Amino acid sequence: MINLGLLIIRLAVGMTFVGHGCQKLFGWFGGPGVVKFGEYLGSIGIKTGGKTWAILAGFFELAGGLLFSAGQFTWLGAILITIVMIDAIFTVHGKNGFWLTEGGYEYNFILIAVVLGVALIGPGDYVLIYKA
């Protein structure tokens, strides 16, 4: 049951990040795409390289989510996701305090805990490529 539980966590969290990455990079699922997300970053104070930061954020979410979901290099996927969440805390949510109801970083904090916890435990037995 532990392996099934880890698979459910990896798929739910990882594929959500894949979706967010696709929103930022390609404008899929109602997302802004690179240009609009880059403009948003400029509007919150990231004046230089908004498009570059938009591409990096989208790539980190997409690649991190794929690795995390697949159970391959789970630690790297967790690091990529953690970097994006820490960035979101410092650029958007941190000034609002902890609680999500106030626009705070509660959700980002929980996601960091989940991905790091799974990375430390390991992906379990149900992974995309069998590990010996």
Per-residue pLDDT of the chain (132 residues; tens, 9 = 90+): 999 999 999 999 999 999 999 999 999 999 999 999 999 999 998 888 889 999 999 999 999 999 999 999 999 999 999 999 999 999 999 999 999 999 999 999 999 999 999 999 999 999 987 665
Residue 42's nearest CA partner among 57, 59, 54, 27 is: 54
Ordered by start, the domain boundaries in the chain are 2-121
Distance between CA atoms of residues 51 and 61, nearest Å: 15
